[in-house]
Chain A
């Protein structure tokens, strides 16, 4: 093979590996966890710089001291690369403040983009740090004292190592995302508020994702800088991140192979194609057209094929015989009336929901004192003090605008109260964040559709199960051998509940495709699997056919008999009648009365509140 081609091939190998690794990392952040890291290039740059200044000799003495930079520890390979990965992870930490809070996704992304621009400017301007706009050059290649970095054999070996590392990253990320932890990440991506209400620690998860993504991005930068020996601000403008996003959109977000495909098609192919185009008079024409092409790729793919060439794969969890998975369910209003709940009466709630140790002692398990909430000067909830007794199915009713949903949100932690205290199981939880409350057994459901759309029904259910050993980053790393059998048991438990509620045939269907009533059942089942001690239901029967509503009510009663406590906000007074005792009446943000429906009906002020003015 002519040497020129051979050298060219080594370049392709290295760039292909580096781009693939970067895309895998970004896809992990964006495609799997829903973190739109518009500042991704920062981390690759940090890694490149770190690897450079860790492997280069002291600035003052190197090559006549024509460069200025910090460190210069002259470390041998592989230390600079390891150091680079660590730096990438550390650099990610300050950015958690942008993505950890409940900031709108597009705002956070813009903040990251701006950070990339800012850091690029700062590095360019402050020369003593990383040699300013000129960048660092004459970066030593690994083992260059032993082997000639310009030699063909060396370069092939370099390419080989790069590819091996990229493959390792592929398997590492796959191990992480195809675990219970990965499931939680995808749940967070699909609906972060709901994931939070099921006990997922969003800030910790997002921080973990940024740190790992940052470390891998940095590694890719280290590999690149070792090969090309120089790194300057011009190489990492904010637009480079856009190229990588385009790659993921084209290849397929949420699919590791898609990330690699995208990396080969977009950054790699684009660079390489320009070598074969004859030079034109205007030297900036080709690069400009490249950018135009990237822009068009983004727009066209997001319009015609937003899932990319290799879309995210469906995870088939069911352990039973292969079912004909039903795709989209025709949404027929009457079908809800016909939903049979299957063998639900055979479900042993005490066992399934781990209520075995609860004693039905009627103690006060959840209470508030003087709870209030005001928005912009308008008081919505005023001085509400209620007591919920363990083992009871308590109802909460009231006219529109009475403050029921707001009160429930404050109990769950979704909203912070303006004043007052909340006690749960003997502890003051007023300032406890919502995900911690869920982990402690105080779980809520939502009024509007809240399923994880791109997770299957079974995944929706299993994701709620608490204390999964595979549901942490370290747990996921330990692999299937570690969390596999526990996960299988969890899946079987979820399948049992699914069968009980008569929806087994939808086990592997994407939750977003079910009918309204079916989605409602999925939400209830999911909330149950979160092993709540106290379940807060926000209008669970809204839009549900009365027949189905009563069947659900029967099951709720059974759950309370098995030791659970339920507080249900509802409008359907027939449900209250049949199942709830006691019932709390709210009106105009205050507690009006408490008692059974029969008692309440006799109280004139309740009748007034509901019928009069």
Chain B
């Protein structure tokens, strides 16, 4: 089955994902992914602020660090890292789960029993990744900006009022909404590619591991390229 055929089968309106299972997977995805997303977002917010401050200073411009951090974090870094973390944690878990079920012929068993694996197994898991992306992004945004604020005001000695004024000057609700659209696309790509790689995995531990590697690399590349295209579309 090609990726396109797989996607069509997944999106087919005749077999929508089962709601209770989707909800269960959604909750699990959010809870599992929250901690690493918060951790990495905070560190990236802090790094971006330090780097930006340093670059602005050494190049002799005014340090408008709040504007810089807000733009970079909300437009690019937070959506990218949320997408990457979805690919890394629930994405690889999805590939592993489907691949082991394929290897032990559990998927075939479902089909024999007349249970549609796309409706009950794959659909809910893929949809859960898409649905989990926006709430995770909210946490990433908050953590990144908070870390940036603490770094700028606490460590670099920027005045709190200056930082807040700079932050709100160039960044607004539109940036947050564009970020939401971005992560929904990233979640969809992560779900689709991870599920596909799991579905067509060869048997055995080696097959599972190969499927995870393929899924992770292809998802990351797809996310980075999609991010580039979406940034060009939104922020021209």
- The answer on A and B forming one complex is no
